[in-house]
Amino acid sequence: MASTMAKFNHKTRTGRRAYQHAWYLKNKEKQNAKTKAWHEANKEKHNNQNKKWALENPERRKYISDTYYARNVKRIRERTRRSNKILKFEVLSHYSPKEKLRCSWRGCKITDMDMLSLDHIKNNGAEARRGMKAIGGVVYYSRLRKLGYPEGLQTLCHNHQWKKEITRRYLTGAQ
């Protein structure tokens, strides 16, 4: 009793949905352009409608975003981790010798990103960070990139951060 309007069968991909999908694949470009044009033309109205609906249905809204997050938590975390890694790589590279990721200490060959971080050349790190109202690493890195990489920073490996600190204490007579 096969009908052309049969229920979609996920295994065999037959039935109405399969027909619709085949139609979509055939007319993809035209259809996507149409959808895009509609969105461009109705952007504001559409956004306002969405906002209004979200305000009127807070619980439903929360349910949707919660379940979306729950369903995609692994993917979202992975994506965030990857983009954070890229951000860190870009910023640390910028403050490396010749903008190639490496510790700026003379003769040091450390290029492992996990062992590198930013150093304020004039030891005013805490002050500079307060001035930018940013605390943590990622926020700080993204702020620096947005500001077009202000001067006064360098990439150092953790050993040389420590070496610099010991030298500073020795020179200033601090304990």
Q: Count H helices, E strands: the chain?
A: 6, 2
Closer of 110 and 118 to Zn ion (Cβ): 110
Least separation in angstroms between CB 90 and Zn ion: 20
Tell me the closest approach of the beta carbon of residue 100 to Zn ion, in angstroms. 14
- Measured from the CB of residue 156, what is the shortest distance to Zn ion in angstroms? 6
When the beta carbons of 105 and 141 are compared against Zn ion, the nearer one is: 105
Backbone angles phi, psi at 148, to 5 degrees: 75, 35
Torsion angle (degrees, nearest 10) of CA 88, 91, 93, 99: 170
Q: Nearest approach, Cβ of 117 to Zn ion (angstroms)?
A: 11
Distance, in Å, from the CA atom of 52 to the CA atom of 175, rounded to the nearest integer, reads 61
* Complex with Zn ion: residue 48 or 159, whichever CB lies closer: 159
For helices 16-26 and 28-56, angle between their N-to-C axes, nearest 10 degrees: 120
| Nearer of residues 141 and 155 to Zn ion, judged by Cβ | 155
Q: Is residue 105 helix, strand or coil?
A: coil
Binding site for Zn ion (CB under 5 A): 103, 105, 108, 110, 157, 160
